[in-house]
Amino acid sequence: MKALWLAVFFGTLAWSAISPKDYPTWLLEVAPAVIGLVLIAATYNRFRLTPLLYWLILAHCVVLMVGGHYTYAEVPLFDDLKPLFGWERNNYDKLGHFMQGFVPAILAREILVRKAVVTSNAWRNLFIVSVCLAFSAFYELLEWWVAIATGTASEAFLGTQGYIWDTQSDMFLALLGAIAALATLARLHDRQMAALDDSLPGDSQKSGKITILRPRG
């Protein structure tokens, strides 16, 4: 699995770096994916993640690298989808913001469950959704700061395409992504955490045991 994961990551990264639409934008968009890879490598032996989460992180990285290559406003596939769905803009950036809620939700869930931070299922889900919304809001602030720092060169990075509700819709898509992840992947995630718990040597990476049993309330 590790070899395939790395092959997809570096293959996509290499492709995205070949004649991108705009190199400064490419760097801004791809940087989070590279930072994510560094963090995964640094924590691999201390806190190994579930296969589900590793593949979700890879999918998010691919979305970032494709967006970096074309810019989020000019991804060809989503231009082709515009007449099919009646879109007036290229909505690839909305996919990116959906993933910005979908993937962090599972990451937050894994940390909270395995570290037994919040044992109530309902409170844990509320906390996860709140974290994803906070992360989305912070990213919007980051885009604003980049726009101030780079001036007109920031347009490709922001990808607003003249849409006045771009910031609000970005955060709404992240919210939907977080809710969708919790609603569709919780059971599979629990099974993978339980299997990972049983396979890890020693206790340093194991969850707080029964936390994966998903208590009521």
Model pLDDT for residues 15-68, shown as the tens digit of each residue: 999 999 888 889 888 999 999 999 999 999 999 999 999 999 999 999 999 999
- Determine how many CB atoms are found less than 10 A away from the CB of residue 38: 10
- Whole domain around residue 182: which residue ranges? 2-213
Query: For position 72, what pLDDT does the model report?
Result: 86
Residues 6+ apart with CB under 8 A from 4: none
* Mean predicted confidence (pLDDT) in 100-114: 96
pLDDT reading at 209 higher than 50: no
Query: For position 217, what pLDDT does the model report?
Result: 43
Query: For position 198, what pLDDT does the model report?
Result: 73
CA angle (125, 31, 72) in 5-degree steps: 80
pLDDT reading at 175 higher than 80: yes
Compare 57 and 166 and report the one with higher pLDDT.
Answer: 57
Residue linked to tokens 């060169």: 153
* Mean predicted confidence (pLDDT) in 85-113: 93
What average pLDDT is seen over the chain? Answer: 86
pLDDT reading at 177 higher than 90: yes
Candidate from 16-30, 81-95, 150-164, 201-215 with smallest mean pLDDT: 201-215
pLDDT reading at 200 higher than 80: no
Return phi, psi of residue 157, to 5°. Answer: -70, -40
Number of domains in the chain: 1
Compare 84 and 178 and report the one with higher pLDDT.
Answer: 178
Residues 6+ apart with CB under 8 A from 85: none
Query: For position 211, what pLDDT does the model report?
Result: 44
Query: For position 213, what pLDDT does the model report?
Result: 46
pLDDT reading at 134 higher than 90: yes
pLDDT reading at 204 higher than 70: no
Query: For position 151, what pLDDT does the model report?
Result: 63
